[in-house]
Amino acid sequence: MDRDRRVERLLPLRPVEFQILLSLAGGERHGYGIIQDAEERGESVDVGTLYRALARMLDQGLIASAGLQKEPETGNERRNYYRMTDFGKRVAKAEARRLEALTRAARSGGLLERPTR
């Protein structure tokens, strides 16, 4: 299918792109929110790298701008929020499946321990 091909053409995603989509999967975020999410996951993202990725993903239609919003916690300054598009969600899912398959392969190759139940 045409749209599946569009998804596959974007795979594999760069780490920063997957981080962004992971973060937006939980709702709309602004730039620093995404960085904080990534840091919680134990990854670090450079600001410049992040915004170059955001610009690229906006252009590819993976994410969209959600407009200027006030930060709920501080409530003072307005920031540019981003959200994931349907297309972005499908790409993120496809990337997750791809990573899952890799993980399975790593496990059967003995690189990874079996998950503890």
How many chain residues are in contact with other proteins, going by CB under 8 A? Answer: 22
Beta strand 63-70 with 29-30 is unpaired
Tell me the DSSP string of 2-39.
Answer: HHHHHHHHTPSPPHHHHHHHHHHHTS-EEHHHHHHHHH
Q: Which of 10, 16, 24, 35 binds other proteins (CB under 8 A)?
A: 35
d(Cα 84, Cα 100) in Å, to the nearest integer? 21
User: Which residue's CB is nearer to other proteins, number 55 or number 99?
Assistant: 55
Give the nearer residue to other proteins in terms of CB position, either 31 or 87.
31
Interaction between residue 70 and other proteins (CB under 8 A): no
By CB under 8 A, tell whether 6 contacts other proteins: no
**DSSP characters for 54-83?**
HHHHHHHTSEEEEEEEE-TTT-SSEEEEEE
Q: Which is nearer to other proteins, 4 or 32 (CB)?
A: 32
Q: Which amino acid is at 104?
A: R
Of 36 and 85, the one with the shorter C-beta distance to other proteins is: 36
Residue 106 in contact with other proteins, rule: CB under 8 A: no
- Residues at the contact surface with other proteins, assessed by CB under 8 A: 30-32, 35-36, 46-56, 58-60, 77, 79-80
